[in-house]
Chain A
Amino acid sequence: MIATLIVFSLFTAQLLRIQGLDAQGVSAKALDSRLHSTVLPALRGQIVDSNGVVLASSVDRYNVTDDPTATATYKKRIDGEVVEVGLPGAAIDIADAIGVEPKPILDAMQAAYKKKSRFTYLTKNITPRQWRRIADLGIPGVYSESSTDRQYPQGTSLAPLLGWVGGNGQGGGGVEQMKQKVLNGTPGKHVYEQAPDGTMIATGDNKDTPAVDGKNVKLTLDNDLQWYAQNAIADQVKKSGSLSGEVVIMDTQQNLKAVASYPSFDNNNVGSATRTELQSKPFTSAYEPGSTSKVITMAALLEKKKATPTTHVTVPPTLTRAGTTFHDAEEHGTEHLTLSGVLSQSSNIGTMLEGSKLARGTLYHYLRDFGLGQTSGLGYPGESDGVLAPYKNWSATQRFTVMFGQGLASTAIQEASVFATIANDGVKEPVKLVKGIGEGDNYTAPADSRTPKRVIKKSTADTLTKMMEGVISKTGTAKDAAVHGYSIAGKTGTADRYDSTLGRYNGVTASFIGFAPAKNPRYIVAVTLQRPTKGSMFGGDVAGPVFSKVMSYALNKAGVPPTGKQASPYPLTYDASSSRKP
């Protein structure tokens, strides 16, 4: 009797302890064992072009994991009989479900099984549909983890500009890195109570923090132009045996329409790319631009009224300045050129003779105002600001070489921007790449603190444009750049190329930059090829044809009516008793 009482009082005490004293702890423990949470992944925003064409998008994917010790007991009903088919049977069924070879899957299972490991990946990045087919098989030990995959339907044509997304969800280079904050969403959380068999308890505590998907980024690009430019430059790099090539297309408001570079890579498969391919060279690599830079010297001469397009320049075969003898690209006797002729034949000596009328500071001021020696302010990752030493630090020869684009370095974006400024009546708009940020069809333009700036007068820009029309004339350096049906303005460049791996000058940088139609410019196209090795090395011969193709396509696509034959408004030579150029 007493013993029974003692036992019962013990029970009572225990009951009191559990229900009274420890109640909170015990119930929390119980809840803990029921409570589960899953992460609701946020989908990364899309990148689209100015017409809404998808350039990059994220999709849901699954990785299939396996516990082979459980899978080994896989049983299956064959002809009404239950048979244990084990790992090989499971591998075959999974492979069938997703349409791949079973061997790698079986290998992964067996390798893990041998090590008594209870975790291995069977396959990665399968579609939700494929995973559902696997899940329906009901194979023990086969689980999934959700992931996302970034797809780039345009592949190599845009890869260097867009960049890629790393395994950690961080943008690796390019627009993906530049707009990481906007593109990346905030993952949500789903908290729920779970029964021992894994089903959700309907009456339990459920809490949802929904995922916030990333926003879409709309670029100023035109995907068709981008592809055409990429294709054309890829072709020419191969034909001319060049190291690399770049094409930049922008409009007069400096909205980038295409930023192509070759060699490229496929950002659907970043692993196979080499380090140098990963960069968008038009932004990241600066080179000595050469003669395309002469237009800045000309702009300064015209603006400061030191010369007119018809100013007579007597160009000797060689010219010695600061102890260095300068030559022109092609040997010649004494020539009688107008200032337009100097530009159209790209005479270094003529440019030096006239450019000497400008003070160092004045020239530097114009180089700087046209955007050299500073980034575009876009915030593009790895963008180079080029090299433009302050004029006080210029060496004696550098003071002359900067006039024809040596002794300073610029990117293709900067060079295109110089010509866009002239095409825009002398007003330099900030370079733009992002048109809007938003969701669906609702995009808002990003905040931009940069403002347009007048660099030269409209009259100067008009005169300079007319001078540049002469470059494409029969006697100019770039007749191959002509675009049938339109008069274009442009300038060739053939610069000595500094090879940093060799530590000396080696080969040339061949370029052509121009805009069309000259009277009412629609597009600015800058074509650059590094170190061509086959055939002619001159910018007009190597880059000119690419310009012609790309510009012709761009104008026709935009439906710009032809403006007539190539004009050459100013005389290029003048009558002197000694000699006369044809």
Chain B
Amino acid sequence: MSQLTALPRPTSRAARSARPARSAPQTAPRLRVVQTKDAAEHTGVGFVVLCVLLLVGGLLSLLLLNTNRAQESFAIKKLQAKSAALTDEQQQLSSEIDAQSAPQQLALRAQKMGLAPAAKIRYVRKADGTVIGVAKRSGDDSTFTVGTLPSTPASRAAGTAVSAASSGLLVTKPETLKVTKAKVAEAPKTDKSAPPAKDTKKPAKADPKPSATATKSTGDTAAKSTKPTKSTK
């Protein structure tokens, strides 16, 4: 519609621009009216176009923004679901670890593998490899009574261990009873000696290639532990 009204304008404008020069002195009032009307018409077109543009632009951008927002909310939902799923997964896995690493489960599994608590523990001074003391295991048996198993779903997954326990089974004595564990200890200088550092406490057999300083002492210990020593009595 604005196009239609706009069409005649160029001619009228041309006429207007031509006329004033010649006929201005004759009919001044008429000229003024035309001029006002013309001016109004002229500015009105721009304004309407602007308004329409603004309106259309505004609507479009609103639409775009909303579309984007909706899209983003879907993305958020998706990511949230993913995050929740991962959290669940993490929760599940860590609770499975907790259940499996409970000492009673480890004890049962260790015994199944034929492991037993160390019968003798030799404390060796790291500096010169001398035995500073021997501690024997208290009690004569190496079996555990496991009356302490939980019944979490995760631990049920550890199936065999639990069923072994629920049937009141005392896990049979493993054949290899003579597992000797050696501990390498720093020489206690005062009465308030600290426990030996963790890294030096490795059992002699578990570490075939220990560090240079430890080689001698652990090697010595392994050799000594195979024959009976008088210091044990």
Contact = CB atoms under 8 A, between A and B. Distances in A.
Chain B interface helix/strand/loop/mixed? mixed
A400 to B, nearest CB: 36
B147 interface: yes
The residue among A266, A484, A520 with the most chain B CB atoms within 10 A of its own CB is A484
Interface residues of A, number: 54
B42 interface: no
A560 B194 CA distance: 8
Interface stretch (A124-132, A458-466, A529-537): A124-132
A151 B134 contact: no
B121 A556 contact: yes
Contacts of A560: 195
Given A520-B191, A559-B183, A560-B195, A151 B152 contact: yes
Nearest to B132: A561
Contacts of B77: 200
A93 interface: no
B145 A238 contact: yes
B84 to A, nearest CB: 7
Interface stretch (B32-40, B91-99, B216-224): B91-99
Contact of B193 (A152, A556, A561): A561
A200 B73 contact: yes
Contacts of A485: 133-136
Interface in B82-134: 84-85, 87-89, 91-92, 94-95, 98-99, 101-104, 107, 117-118, 121, 123, 132-134
A269 B152 CA distance: 9
Interface string A196-237: 000010110000000000000000000110011011001100
Contacts, number: 156
Contacts of B73: 200, 202
B66 interface: yes
A549 B183 CA distance: 19
B103 A54 contact: no
A154 interface: yes
Contacts of B133: 485, 561-564
B152 A127 contact: no
B102 A228 contact: no
Interface residues of B, number: 55
B151 to A, nearest CB: 5
Contacts of B136: 484-485
B103 A227 contact: yes
Interface string A58-74: 01100000000000000
Contact of A228 (B84, B92, B103, B191): B103
Given A59-B91, A200-B73, A558-B195, A484 B151 contact: no
A120 interface: no
A563 B185 CA distance: 13
A194 B1 CA distance: 43
B149 A483 contact: no
Given A556-B121, A558-B195, A562-B134, A57 B98 contact: yes
B150 A268 contact: yes
A266 B87 CA distance: 27
Contacts of A520: 191-193
Nearest to A267: B150
Interface in A543-582: 545, 548-549, 551-553, 555-556, 558-564
Contact of B95 (A57, A264, A266, A519): A57
A155 interface: yes
A54 B193 contact: no
B98 A556 contact: no
B58 interface: no
A558 B201 CA distance: 11
Contacts of B101: 53, 153
Nearest to B72: A202
The residue among A153, A483, A548, A563 with the most chain B CB atoms within 10 A of its own CB is A153
A485 to B, nearest CB: 4
Given A129-B89, A552-B135, A230 B148 contact: yes
Interface in B48-87: 66, 69-70, 72-74, 77, 84-85, 87
Contacts of A59: 91-92, 95
A151 B98 contact: yes
A228 B145 CA distance: 10
A82 B63 CA distance: 40
B98 A54 contact: yes
A156 B148 contact: yes
Interface in B6-31: none
A283 interface: no
The residue among B89, B102, B196 with the most chain A CB atoms within 10 A of its own CB is B102
Given A484-B135, A561-B185, A155 B66 contact: no
Nearest to B196: A559
Given A54-B98, A202-B70, A559-B183, A268 B138 contact: no
B36 to A, nearest CB: 39
B155 to A, nearest CB: 7
Given A155-B102, A231-B146, A268 B152 contact: yes
Contacts of B89: 129
Contacts of A155: 102, 104, 148-152, 155
Given A128-B88, A561-B193, A269 B151 contact: yes
Interface in A444-461: none
B169 to A, nearest CB: 14
A373 B90 CA distance: 48
B137 interface: yes
Contacts of A519: 191
B159 interface: no
A266 to B, nearest CB: 5
Contacts of B84: 128
Nearest to B88: A128
A547 to B, nearest CB: 9
Nearest to A125: B153
A157 interface: yes
A312 to B, nearest CB: 32
25 contacts: A57-B95, A60-B87, A132-B85, A151-B95, A153-B99, A153-B101, A153-B102, A154-B103, A155-B151, A156-B147, A156-B149, A200-B77, A202-B70, A203-B69, A227-B148, A231-B144, A231-B145, A234-B147, A234-B148, A235-B147, A485-B135, A486-B135, A553-B138, A556-B118, A562-B123
Given A485-B136, A548-B139, A559-B183, 18 more contacts: A57-B94, A127-B92, A129-B88, A154-B103, A156-B150, A203-B69, A223-B103, A227-B103, A231-B144, A231-B146, A234-B145, A238-B145, A264-B147, A268-B150, A268-B152, A553-B117, A561-B132, A561-B188
